[in-house]
Structure 1
Amino acid sequence: MARKIQLNEVETKFVGLLDDFAGRLNPPVECRIAGGWVRDKLLSLPSHDLDIALSIPSGHLFAVDFVNYLKTKDIATGSVGKVAANPEQSKHLETGTTRILGLECDFVGLRSETYADSRIPQVKPGTPFEDASRRDLTINALFYNVHTREVEDYTQRGLSDLDNKIACTPLPPKQTFQDDPLRILRCIRFASRFNLTIEGHVIEAIKEEEVKAAIATKVSKERIGIEVTKMLQHDPFRAMSLIELLGLHPHVFACDVNPPRQTAFASAQILHHLSKRLFVDEMLWLATAATPFDNVTVKRKGKDQPAAGILSTEIKNAVTNVFEASRLADPEATVRSEIGTWMQNPAVKPWQRSLTWSAVMEILPKWTGGWDEHAEGIVTRYERFRSKIEELGLPDSIDKPLLLNGTELQQLLSISPSPLLQTIRQALNVWQLDHPEGSKEECEAWLQHQWNGEGRAEWESKSQTKKIVKGEKRKR
């Protein structure tokens, strides 16, 4: 018996209009909604992005004509955008993109793909079976026929794999992944999102060294970063667990250097435990991936740069300052100004993130794979630290601007822009936290008193740039 999908009111109207328009053409055009929308509807999940696969090559020309037809029905639409299948290929394969009835729609011809040395395929018009076969997983290869209102399963196992929560490729997995290694990451993303079991022969194909190695050689770091970010949005610990199980960490997070990777999954395990008690966000999951690169540098244009910062744009954004900020946290601090100095550091926003990461890094050196008294003692101290921060009302102080900006400080003390100015600003942070009701005039008076007394020598000493010996590691 054919599988049907329950459409909502908007989808019913859209499908009816598309069916009517396509049937008026000479010859009529077959329209199928493909992939993710079909999967999500079968799982009763909301979905507003529709990929419409057509029996003609040009999705763009079809979309233009369809939008003009909708205008005769007084239905508002967005303008039609154009995406080329491949810049060097002919225009007959162009995709048309537009917004109709609040639905984001991509119109594209059914196609087949052949690969050479690149993950960018040579594309030509294809049959529904060829189009389904080129996709990453069988659960993403389903079609919804707009005319029959039925689901089509050309791989003969997409529906059963969805029912049984199985991740399997339409073609032999080694071929699927060698054609486009990004599909390995997509397999992990969907397996973690929908709690799928990856089939054994798929796992074995991924574990082959030549298959894994192609991730770093064929896929850009930016594209890897985007896919990793997506896989962390639903069940990040399962995603990290699959990366560990499949031995993918050195290939997904490739760098000029290849340090031992054990700390990545260990920190992910710790973070998974902490997620029940402390603040955890996507940035912290990305930071676990970069843990093996903490304190590791690589040469770039003759200069040493943090290795974690070149893994990908997403990783760089996640770990910039996170490691350093975690070193500033002192869970034994009790004085408002001591805690506030850490919280007001630009690296610590949001403050909960660095507090959690500080706990991870303190637990990590003695982590044995399971929660123990040592880990419990550390997280308990950080929970008390968090409570103290909240009791003092410090979270409300983070966004409060300094009473004096940089220009006003320069004028008040007759100084020029320099590292000294930043040191004074940090001292001003502390004063404001100790004097939450202090006025601007009181602040100016305190600064001038410090400048004319012992404060100036202390500030000048703190602002002296430390000379780094070549090859010296930054200390925790």
Structure 2
Amino acid sequence: MPSAAPASHASPSQLPSPPTITLNAREEQLKNLLLEAAKYMDNRDLNQAGDGHSTQPRRDPLVLRWAGGWVRDKLLGITSHDIDTAINSMTGEAFVDGLRDYCDDPANKAKHGLHDDDIGRLHTVPRNPDKSKHLATSTIKLCGLDVDFVNLRKETYADDSRNPEVEFGTAEEDALRRDATINALFYNLNTGKIEDFTGGVADLQAGLIRTPMEPLQTFLDDPLRVLRLVRFASRFGFRIDEAAESVMGDERVLENLKIKISRERIGVELEKMMKDANAVAALRFIDRLGLYHAVFTDPNRSNMPRPELHAWQAAYNCLDFLERNNTPGSIYALLVTSEEARYIAWTLATLTPFEQLPDDPPLRSGRPAPPLLTQAAREGFKAPNKLCSIITAAHTHRLAILKLKDLVKTQGNGVRERDRFGMAIREWDTRGGGGNWRLQVLYALLVDVAERVGGQAVVCGERPESQEMEDVLREWQAFLDHLIDLDVMDAPSIKRLVDGNMLTKALGVRPGRWMGAALDVALAWQLRNPGVTNPSGAIEEVIKKRDELGIN
């Protein structure tokens, strides 16, 4: 697959001054629809108040603003299909109810050129303070765009509570509560102008990530903002304000990150970072700012071991180097074959430091304890079960992968045994690997780089800066080239010549525990004899080993 490339957008320094936003046809259609619907709701509520039918206090006329990320992205020339609409005097749910009433009139639909599929179903996400979701948000598909509606608000945090008091606020109060100035911009639909209460436009032009309010208190109030700032800085290639950087790793902030923020929300931020084209920049921020142990941990385990991080940069810089030098037949091209695989690869790179630590003792049941890196993923950022299985398999099979790589390096006995390599690959792929043996090899490579090259290695450009790094990568390329030469890269998908029914018939016995091992014997024969389509030789191999397999 081609290397991921940053999204194309205008340089911040090229923003017009004063900045303006030009709407495309869909956005213009949506703007006119919302303004007309707001006018309809104002007149409706005013008439109800005049008739004495309304029990609600009279509200201010509606003013609508598109907020945050959409404004930022439009100024940077990035296409955005998600629009947050901030409302001054009505909740999002109430506004969407009025909008649907307005659109129920066929004349209004015709006026705005709306078809039935231009208006989607309303979905309201309820507030959930325990997960730092402090206000209900109503979402609806309109004019081909995903539009969220929520009222302007201000938030007041008490020292003894992780949940703020939330109430209606002004546009300026709403801007000040946001995580970064570049996310605190508004486009006023009523005036058609940008509103900047925090200096966000200047920060966009300067390529700067800065908090609207004093940084330490901002992070203590909502520590997730630390990770959000890292994400935006890495995504856009911006720098983080020095005042903010100086307190992002403050112990009080990191402790609040553990106790105030759900690990699911941390996982959402981390996933977005690892899926971004510039994932390595996010890891460099996490490393340099001292955030690692607050993210990659089990917060409920008081004795969770902490790995040393001095060699971590070698692993993530190596993956970045491989990705940027992705060519046909290269390590990256052979091991990372999809966008999902790319995300898993970067997630695995975050966990390489845990390989330096010993495994936990077996559980009381006698089963192995989950590897520390799996615990850090499962509890630290709530990695889903599939990802945790791949992480566990990468740890479990690492030494076996390394052993075969070294066999190729030394050209030792058995290096040309196709069945040895093919059966090993099938083992890695099926035993917890979820069909991801290639990513397990990549993980073993990254750990190998970290262990052998360590903190001295920074790779850049077309070549590694250190001879040690170049030597390690040459070994792994030779290993993969050898697998290609043996024609075992697709070993997991080889169709068996022999199945269980054939074996029971040929042996004259009933199925039993011996079946799995016998099928592997047949498949190993098949790997040693590529191109053979007659199963008789494989069956004969099983018969020869009948006693060894315990077939009675």
User: Shorter-chain-normalised TM-score: which range?
Assistant: 0.7 to 0.9
Distance 2:504 2:178 in 1: 61
The residue number in structure 1 matching 2:422 is 340
Q: Which of 23, 27, 32 in structure 1 is aligned with 2:65?
A: 32
Matched, 1:325 2:397: yes
Q: What TM-score, normalized to structure 1? A: 0.86
Q: Which of 478, 481, 494 in structure 2 is aligned with 1:400?
A: 494
Q: Which of 375, 393, 400 in structure 2 is aligned with 1:310?
A: 375
How far does residue 367 in structure 1 lie from its aligned partner after superposition? 1.3
- For the Cα contact (< 8 Å) 2:62–2:87, is it kept in 1? yes
The residue number in structure 2 matching 1:44 is 77
Higher mean displacement: 55-64 or 382-391? 382-391
Change (3 A) 1:86 1:292: closer
Change (3 A) 1:212 1:438: same
Unaligned runs of 5+ in 1: 461-476
Higher mean displacement: 38-47 or 377-386? 377-386
How far does residue 447 in structure 1 lie from its aligned partner after superposition? 5.2
Distance 2:288 2:274 in 1: 16
Letter of the structure 2 residue corresponding to residue 308 of structure 1: L
- For the Cα contact (< 8 Å) 1:410–1:417, is it kept in 2? no
Letter of the structure 2 residue corresponding to residue 253 of structure 1: F
Distance 2:511 2:121 in 1: 53
Matched, 1:358 2:452: no
3-state secondary structure, aligned to 2:489: helix
Deviations 1:246-276 (A, max 9, x none): 1111111123322333243332233233333
Change (3 A) 1:316 1:113: same
Change (3 A) 1:367 1:16: same
3-state secondary structure, aligned to 1:98: strand
- For the Cα contact (< 8 Å) 1:98–1:104, is it kept in 2? yes
How far does residue 29 in structure 1 lie from its aligned partner after superposition? 1.2
Higher mean displacement: 162-171 or 229-238? 229-238
Deviations 1:145-183 (A, max 9, x none): 11222211111x101111111011111111111111111
Q: Which of 16, 20, 25 in structure 2 is aligned with 1:9?
A: 25
Distance 2:501 2:215 in 1: 62
Matched, 1:456 2:549: yes
The residue number in structure 2 matching 1:473 is none
Change (3 A) 1:372 1:29: same
The residue number in structure 1 matching 2:536 is 442
The residue number in structure 2 matching 1:463 is none
How far does residue 119 in structure 1 lie from its aligned partner after superposition? 4.2
Letter of the structure 2 residue corresponding to residue 85 of structure 1: R
- For the Cα contact (< 8 Å) 1:216–1:254, is it kept in 2? no
Distance 1:442 1:122 in 2: 76
Unaligned runs of 5+ in 2: 1-16, 43-59, 337-341, 409-414, 458-464
- For the Cα contact (< 8 Å) 2:216–2:248, is it kept in 1? yes
3-state secondary structure, aligned to 2:275: coil
Letter of the structure 2 residue corresponding to residue 291 of structure 1: T
Matched, 1:383 2:477: yes
- For the Cα contact (< 8 Å) 2:518–2:542, is it kept in 1? no
Q: Which of 145, 148, 152 in structure 1 is aligned with 2:188?
A: 145
Matches within 5 A, 1:36-435: 36-71=69-104, 72=106, 73=109, 74-76=114-116, 77-86=119-128, 94-116=136-158, 117-155=160-198, 157-234=199-276, 235-255=278-298, 256=301, 257-262=304-309, 263-275=311-323, 276=325, 277-279=330-332, 280=336, 281-294=342-355, 296-298=358-360, 302=364, 304-311=369-376, 312=378, 313-314=382-383, 316-329=388-401, 330-331=404-405, 332=408, 333-345=415-427, 346=430, 347=433, 349-368=435-454, 369-370=456-457, 371-404=465-498, 414=509, 418=513, 421-435=515-529
Change (3 A) 1:192 1:15: same
Higher mean displacement: 313-322 or 29-38? 313-322
Distance 2:82 2:389 in 1: 28
The residue number in structure 2 matching 1:466 is none
Distance 1:412 1:161 in 2: 76
Higher mean displacement: 309-318 or 240-249? 309-318
Letter of the structure 1 residue corresponding to residue 371 of structure 2: P
Higher mean displacement: 315-324 or 213-222? 315-324
Higher mean displacement: 46-55 or 402-411? 402-411
Change (3 A) 1:201 1:291: same
Number of residue-to-residue matches in the alignment: 453
3-state secondary structure, aligned to 1:232: helix
Distance 2:274 2:76 in 1: 20
